[in-house]
Each structure stands twice: as C-alpha cells, then as structure tokens.
C-alpha cells in the first residue's frame, strides 16, 4: 500500500473510474456507483479514491441516510487488476476512521447476482468485514395471464385510479414502507414518500388501488400499485406493489394476488420483492415454479449489526 495515495472524491472521478471499472454489471451496480460523491457533513458523507501514480484504481464511500438512520451505507469498488491485495479493506478502515463521534458506526452494504455473474468475491469481502445478511431482494418479471382476475362488485371490491399526490395514498405508502423495513428501521415521512416514490422526478406515472368497497361508501385501500417509466421503451413496466399493513398476512393475500393479476393481465411487469414481503415473496415463488415469473437478479443486503 506504500505506493498508493488516498484522497477525497473530486469532479471527474466518475468518468476516470468508469474507464478503469468498465460498464456496471447490473442496474443495481449502476445505482451503487451513484453513491460516490463529494464529502459533506450534512448529510454525513465521506468518499476516498485510491490512486496509483496518479491514476484512480479504487474508491469507497460511507454515508448517512435520514430514511434509515441505524446504519451507514458502504460501497467499495476496486479495479479488477488490483483486487485481492487488501485495497478494499484498507479503504474501509480509512473510511471508518472518518466517522465522527455521535454518528452510528454500524455499516450496511449490498451485492447483486444476475445471470452469468458471480457475487462470491463480494460476499467474501463483506463477510471479512464482519457483515451478515439482513435481507434478500429479488427483481422479478411477471409474465401475463398467470393469475385469475379478481371479481368486482358494486358494493364490494373496487378498482380505482388515484393521483400520486393523494394524501390518502401517501400516508398508506409511508405506513407500508416503514412496516416492511423493520429489518433496517425506516423513518419514512409524508415528504420523503413524495420525494422518493411519488413525485414526477421519480418517474411515477400512475397509481391504481383496490378497495374493499367504493370510496364513496367508506372503502379503504387494500393494495396499491405505482407504475414508473421503464429505463427502455421495450422494457416491462416497473411497478411498486404495496398493501395496507393493517391487514394480516391472511387478509392481505387476496388483495396482493388480485392486484398482481390486474397488473400482469396483458403485459409483463417488473417487481422488486424483499423477503420481508412474505405474502408477495411466496406468490413470486409459486409463479416462478410455474414459469410465470423470471427472477432476473437477487440482491443480498448485509450489515455489521
């Protein structure tokens, strides 16, 4: 390590490292690279770039999230020719030394497996840092026609369009998100729900909800689906499928199944499903076994505590 230098992140490092790292192996890897950013105290961010004779060969970042304040996010990437020599660990050790008093010292990270890729090295690196799995998330393509459509009644189950700015919807999204992220305690608020999941900048383009009866008769939302503009025109619609967390697993099963049947009635859709979403995750397992769903990637989230 004596010949290497470590410095803060600076403008242009993203392009320089892209030349060294190559294209990201998955959409998640692309998102992870956006974690690299300039140092800040509010919110807390520290980034380091390792250089060899002035050429960037590795980078690491830790940062705090107001949404998930229990742990700091960690992301490290090392050029292929410089791996397995302790450089990643050195970056993590130096980043840990930069954590100020009063800030949590617990870390979390993730790695993604896709067809044709091997995440064994990332898994081993995380394990060497004392990290253990806290969650697993899958991206799944749901093929059309695999589920029977729900039966609607004038005085019963109702399908509604709803505005992304609806207070009723936003409150439900907040409750759903916080309830399904107890494994990494969340503090989603009305404002953060709008900013991260519902406003125009997120790509949200429409919402449908299933109610137990018409809204005019006091019907409550059982499940909801927010559709987002896909990365490619020919890609399946990207959808966040959620439900009322006041429902038990048994009570939520039919609203979840019915909503997914509506979404994938004629066209494929893409969902991200955490293992904490027990009913939906089990339904995806059934569909995958029946060849009505394809798991395109699996992301493991790990943490030091």
Q: Encode pLDDT of 83-138 as tens digits.
A: 888 999 999 999 999 999 999 999 999 999 987 777 899 999 999 999 999 999 99
Q: How many CB atoms lie within 10 A of CB 118?
A: 10
Q: Do domains 4-130 and 141-300 have the same CATH topology?
A: yes
State the pLDDT at residue 214.
Answer: 95
- Please give the pLDDT value at position 288: 97
Question: What pLDDT, on the 0 to 100 scale, is given for residue 233?
Answer: 81
Asked if 248 and 256 count as a contact pair (C-beta separation under 8 A), the reply is no
Distance CA 74, CA 107 (A): 6
Is the CATH number 3.40.109.10 carried by domain 4-130?
Answer: no
- What is the pLDDT at residue 126? 96
| pTM, to two decimals | 0.92
pLDDT of residue 71: 97
Sign of the dihedral defined by the CA atoms of residues 138, 233, 243, 191, in that order: positive
Q: Is the pLDDT of residue 303 over 80?
A: yes
Give the model's pLDDT for residue 1.
56
Residue extents of the structural domains in the chain: 4-130, 141-300
Residue 135, H or E segment: strand 132-142
State how far the alpha carbon of 132 is from the alpha carbons of 107, 129, 293, 301, in Å. 11, 9, 28, 8
For residue 2, what pLDDT band results from cuts at 50, 70 and 90?
A: low
In terms of DSSP H, where are the helices of 134-248? 167-179, 190-193
Q: Which fold has domain 141-300?
A: Aminopeptidase (3.40.630)
pLDDT digits (tens, 9 = 90+) for 140-196: 999 999 999 999 988 899 999 999 999 999 999 999 999 999 999 999 999 999 999
- Place 27 in a pLDDT band, splitting at 50, 70 and 90: confident
CA atoms in the 13 A half-sphere facing the CB of 284: 24
- Record the tokens describing residue 284, joined without a space: 């995806």
CB 165 within 8 A of CB 171: no
Mean pLDDT of 243-261: 97
Supply angle C-alpha 234, 238, 241, rounded to 5.
150
Identify whether the C-beta of residue 91 lies closer than 8 Å to the C-beta of residue 76. yes
């Amino acid at each position: 390590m004596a010949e290497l230098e470590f410095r803060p992140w600076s403008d242009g490092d993203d392009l320089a490292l892209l030349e060294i790292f190559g294209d990201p192996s998955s959409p998640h890897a692309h998102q992870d690279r956006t974690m690299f950013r300039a140092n800040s105290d509010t919110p807390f961010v520290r980034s380091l770039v390792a250089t060899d004779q002035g050429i960037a060969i590795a980078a690491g970042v830790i940062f705090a999230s107001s949404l998930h304040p229990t742990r700091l996010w960690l992301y490290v990437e090392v050029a292929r020719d410089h791996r397995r020599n302790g450089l990643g660990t050195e970056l993590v050790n130096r980043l840990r030394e930069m954590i100020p008093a009063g800030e949590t010292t617990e870390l979390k990270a993730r790695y993604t497996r896709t067809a044709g890729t091997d995440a064994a090295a990332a898994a081993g690196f995380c394990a060497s840092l004392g990290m253990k799995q806290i969650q697993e998330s899958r991206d799944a393509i749901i093929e059309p026609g695999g589920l029977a459509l729900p039966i609607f009644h004038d005085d019963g189950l109702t399908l509604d369009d709803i505005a992304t700015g609806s207070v009723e919807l936003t409150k439900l999204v907040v409750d759903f998100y916080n309830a399904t992220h107890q494994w990494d305690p969340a503090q989603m608020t009305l404002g953060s729900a709008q900013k991260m999941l519902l406003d125009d900048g997120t790509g949200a383009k429409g919402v449908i909800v299933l109610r137990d009866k018409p809204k005019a008769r006091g019907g409550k939302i059982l499940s909801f689906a927010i559709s987002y503009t896909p990365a490619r025109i020919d890609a399946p619609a990207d959808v966040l499928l959620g439900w009322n967390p006041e429902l038990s697993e048994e009570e939520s099963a039919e609203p979840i199944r019915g909503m997914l049947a509506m979404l994938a009635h004629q066209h494929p859709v893409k969902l991200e499903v955490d293992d904490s979403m027990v009913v939906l995750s089990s339904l995806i397992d059934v569909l995958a076994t029946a060849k009505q769903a394809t798991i395109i990637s699996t992301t493991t989230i790990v943490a030091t505590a």
